[in-house]
Structure 1
Amino acid sequence: MKLLSLLALLLCTTVAIAQTLPQASRTVYKCEEGGKVNYSDSPCLGAKKVAVEPTRGLNKSSGRELQGSDVRNERFREGMAEAIKPLTGMNAQQVDQFGRRQRLSPEAQRQCRGLDQQIPMAEAAEAAAKADPELKAAQKRLFELRAAYRKQSCD
């Protein structure tokens, strides 16, 4: 029981540090509409998910890394997550997500957990769809799930 209390304290500390800046969305969607390609943090019908990793500040002239307080805080949270990983089994992104979700209502947390399971299945269904009507239906379902995920602030 004391181990759980310690873990909760570490997670609360990490969350408190994370509260200083809003979480930047690392989920980017590539949308093609009317022959134009658009990148957005909002999903669209038929969107392709693009993995992005923000830079952490490098001074090109000196080659030295210059860090702001936001980067230092992010690295601290990553170090904390790595330290408690044997206890939680979660990486830094999962710990951050866990901390953000703690602010949600229990119902919203339950819905996020459900969406965590449904979205990968919908992505697989979209990838497996062969015919046009089947593909459109799979894309519509995936769009609805991603929109609900964003609306619930699951990320």
Structure 2
Amino acid sequence: MSCTVLSAPLTAMSQQVYRCEANGQVSYSHEPCLGAKAIDTTPTQGMDRMTGQSQKGADVRKAEHDRMFAEALKPLTGKTPEEFEVAKRRINHSPLEKLSCSQLDGALPRLAQDAAHAVPEAKNSAEARLYKARKAFRDLRC
């Protein structure tokens, strides 16, 4: 699921939610856990039954506004709306933090795939690596 993050609306990208299971109990958290499953938190756009018009919440309207703004700046910046949002989030990061975030950008999808396809003997190790990478990504506010 983490591979689809780039297609999510801009506000949803910074609000990752994880489904965690421990001792038969299920919990949801913004903090990653061992064996966590990333949950899609993309805001929905409901329809008003009476008028047939779309009812969009403030978060969806803001995401659309941010996307249009990024699209308008694309000829100047050369960045897609997703790249623009990432750059905006990381503007105050140190060069070392930016480098770490960039490395994690490439590593997270690979680690998620490794954990999903790991043989039973290697599953715990793969999930531990994914957990550490997700935690670092969150701690750095990438």
TM-score (norm 1): 0.70
Measured in 2, the distance between the counterparts of 1:140 and 1:32 equals 14
Considering only aligned residues, what root-mean-square deviation do their CA atoms show, in Å?
2.6
Aligned match of 2:137: 149
8 Å CA contact retained: 1:123, 1:142: yes
2:38 counterpart of 1:45: no
Of 128, 132, 139, the match for 1:140: 128
Tell which deviates more after alignment, 37-46 or 88-97: 88-97
TM-superposition CA deviations, 1:99-136 (whole Å, max 9, x none): 1101211211111011112212211221231123x110
Counterpart of 1:102? 91
What's the % identity of the aligned pairs?
Answer: 37
Matching of residue 29 in structure 1 with residue 18 in structure 2: yes
SS in 2 for 1:54: coil
- 2:43·2:59 contact (CA, 8 Å) conserved in 1? no
Name the SS for the 1:29 alignment partner: strand
> TM-score with structure 2 length normalisation?
0.75
Distance apart, 1:69 and its partner CA: 5.9
Alpha-carbon distance, 1:26 to partner: 3.3
Contact 1:26 1:53 (8 Å CA) reproduced: no
Structure 2 residue 55 is the aligned partner of structure 1 residue 76: no
Corresponding residue SS for 2:137: helix
| Higher Rg | 1
Q: Is it true that 1:130 corresponds to 2:123 in the alignment?
A: no
Distance 2:84 2:26 in 1: 33
CA gap of 1:67–1:137, structure 2 versus 1, over 3 A, is closer
2:41 maps to a residue whose letter is: V
Gaps of 5+ in 2: 1-9
> 2:22, 2:94 → 1: CA distance?
35
- Residues 81 and 35 (structure 1 numbering): CA distance in 2 closer, same or farther, change over 3 Å? same
